[in-house]
Amino acid sequence: MIDKNELLAGLSETSAESEYFSPIPKGYVKGKTKYVVVMGTVMSGLGKGIFSSCLAKLMQDKGLKVAPIKLEGYLNIDSGTLNPFRHGEVFVLDDGMECDMDLGTYERMLDQNLSKNNFSTSGQIYRSILDKERHGDYLGRDVQMIPHVTGEVKYRLRTLAHNTGADIVFVEIGGTVGDLENAFYIEAMRELAYEEGPNSCCFVALTYILEPRILGEQKSKAAQLGIKQLMQSGIQPDIIACRAASQVNEKARQKISVYSNVPIGRVVSLADSASIYQIPAMLRECSMDFEVLRLLHIEDRIDLRKERQEWAKWCDFTDKIGKEKHETTIGITGKYTSVRDSYASIINALEHSGIALGSHIKIEWIDTSEITDKNVAEHLKNVDGIIVPGGFGIRGTEGKISCIKYARMNNIPFLGLCFGFQMAVIEFARNVCGLKKANSTEIEPNCSEAVIDILPEQKKIEKLGGNMRLGGHDIDIKPGSLAYKLFGNTDSIRMRFRHRYEVDPRFIEQIEKGGLIFSGKAPNQPIMQILELKDHPYFIATQAHPCLTSRPLRPQPMFTGLVAASMKK
């Protein structure tokens, strides 16, 4: 909640009669922070987040402080309830914010932890405005889309700029130009550029060049119309990034340049790439980074020595892509396997580890809905290791348990994540500890041997409306364990969580006597967070989502361990 006095202090000569309503955070200096605004045309899913994060990385390498923010048009307060089939994975930040998967792209590319301040939805914006209206914060005004809703958007951007001390705030607007739900964001960006003054904002339109197979040539008309719609909104793009399956030809770029008033040097081709980590080099080759610096008049802020050092590190990483000497097949056994974005962070974490170890990772997608003990061997016959990922609900759970059992008994490297951790406990309890009816109350509410249940502490919280354990939490690691070695012989680590159910403390002693080791636990709480088995090539699982904190130059140890063990197999 924004402090009322702080809000009023930022309203210069604002009254019920004035049209200059634009709240500004106390201490904010206009012109100090620049803004790069990335919008999409033609269709969604073109990679606005990838483009924005790659450009932000190039600015960061030059010694500039960058802060990204994703503005989503939907009315949900966060992304926590969105189905992975509709919107890809839910990415969880360290502070517990459930957000769009693009925030994961920013964290990986910039190697920094973001917060709830880097993500906003229409629902958040409207709720904030209605709360203020009920508190009488608008001085008798009728509350309108302009100036109040757009003013709230600008206030959030400026607050982020002020609190982070950013040289550049990268603003990604979800959806495409012309969508009703993001129209007020685009209007807010027009107002922001007007209020901040010349050379304050750089507008980037990400578009798509069609190449119908039947015609055999590239067509730019859809891109032209999308850009025209942006210009009708009062925004003149400074850069147009043209996405396409292959390099966009000169003729198509010339057409777009003529119709958009953008110099052809700033109409750039971005063809499909084998890895998103090669895109910064593509942007660098067409001098996109220096075009932005010139447009924003901040050439004097860069540190060329730092840039050379950072770019050398990045090139050491990207030079390994496509030159791996080995191939390792990892099976991802889940129920959202038809939508790859459902497991975006897992895919990235595997890529990071594979590149570090010199192995190309081939992913085999295995839908567990039809897997049983009788046919599991056939489904896993081609894999070197498996991951049982997170998920909610009943469908496919018995198939996951069958996969874990087969991996345990046949020395196949195994990594369980969140729900996969819980399924590993159930499998071990049933087949080793003699708890034949072992299950989770999420799957079987009246289970008589509920080794997985909502802890009493969580039930108390649930009554208050918060039923998820979210965000970053510390984990105490058992010395001498596999986890201890993976994390560099440290006895305390931090990972991110998103779950309701835990191992029921009543069964912990019995399960450990059976041979399962709980090597990671919550400090001062009976919450088991990492399990492992001795005398197995690699059998480890965690209640956390370690993939969320894997970075290109710092692969997540649990994934690196899986890939290394699978390479040996």
Q: Are residues 269 and 379 part of one domain?
A: no
Of 288, 316, 344, the residue at which a domain comes to its end is: 316
Residues 105 and 225 in one domain: yes
Mean pLDDT of 386-399: 85
| pLDDT at residue number 458 | 63
Tell me how far apart the alpha carbons of residues 291 and 293 are, in angstroms, rounded to a whole number: 5
Band (pLDDT 50/70/90 cuts) for residue 177 is: very high
**Domain extent for 348:** 326-568
538 found inside a domain: yes
Q: What is the pLDDT of residue 33?
A: 97
Query: Both 454 and 365 in a single domain?
Result: yes
pLDDT digits (tens, 9 = 90+) for 236-291: 999 999 999 889 999 999 999 999 999 999 999 999 888 999 999 999 999 999 99
Same domain for 468 and 510? Answer: yes
Euclidean distance between CA atoms 456 and 428, whole angstroms: 23
543 domain residue, yes or no: yes
Q: How many CA atoms lie within 13 A of 541 on its CB side?
A: 29
- Average pLDDT of the residues in 438-452: 91
Same domain, 387 and 422: yes
Mean pLDDT for the stretch of residues 428-437? 94
Residue where one domain finishes, among candidates 316, 336, 366: 316
Summary mean pLDDT of the chain: 91
Residues 272 and 364 in one domain: no
521: in domain: yes
Residues 261 and 335 in one domain: no
pLDDT tens-digit series, residues 63-114? 999 999 999 999 999 988 887 767 778 999 999 999 999 999 999 999 999 9
Task: Give a yes or no: residue 26 inside a domain.
Answer: no
262 and 394 share one domain: no
> Is 66 part of any domain?
yes
Reported as a single tens digit per residue, the pLDDT across 446-458 is 989 999 998 666 6
Does the residue 254 lie in any domain?
Answer: yes
> For residue range 128-160, what is the model confidence (pLDDT) as tens digits?
999 999 998 887 788 999 999 999 999 999 999
- Domain CATH code at residue 212: 3.40.50.300
One DSSP character per residue, 108-134 reads HHHT----GGGEEEHHHHHHHHHHHHH
Confidence of residue 517 (pLDDT cuts 50, 70, 90): very high
Give the C-alpha separation, 366 to 521, whole Å.
30
Examine the domain organization and report whether 259 and 354 are in the same domain. Answer: no
* Whole-number Å distance between alpha carbons of 259 and 223: 10
Is residue 72 included in any domain, yes or no? yes
The yes-or-no verdict on residue 6 having pLDDT over 60 is no
- Residue 328: alpha-carbon gap to chain centroid: 25
pLDDT digits over 164-175, tens only?
Answer: 999 999 999 999
What is the pLDDT averaged over residues 462-489?
85
Cβ(100)–Cβ(72) under 8 Å? Answer: yes
At residue 4, does pLDDT exceed 80? no
Higher pLDDT, 214 or 329: 329
pLDDT recorded at residue 214:
85
Do 513 and 481 fall within a single domain? yes
Q: Quick one: tokens of 371?
A: 């897997």
Domain boundary among 316, 334, 362: 316
Whole-angstrom Cα distance, residue 157 to residue 68?
Answer: 10
CATH code of the domain covering residue 467: 3.40.50.880
Average pLDDT over residues 17-39: 89
pLDDT over 70, % of the chain: 93
Does the residue 7 lie in any domain? no
Q: Are residues 367 and 259 in the same domain?
A: no
Same domain, 398 and 469: yes
558, 552, 559: which is closest to 108 by C-alpha?
A: 552
Domain count, the chain: 2
Position 469 scores a pLDDT of: 84
* Residue in 411, 397, 268 with CA at minimum distance from that of residue 334: 397
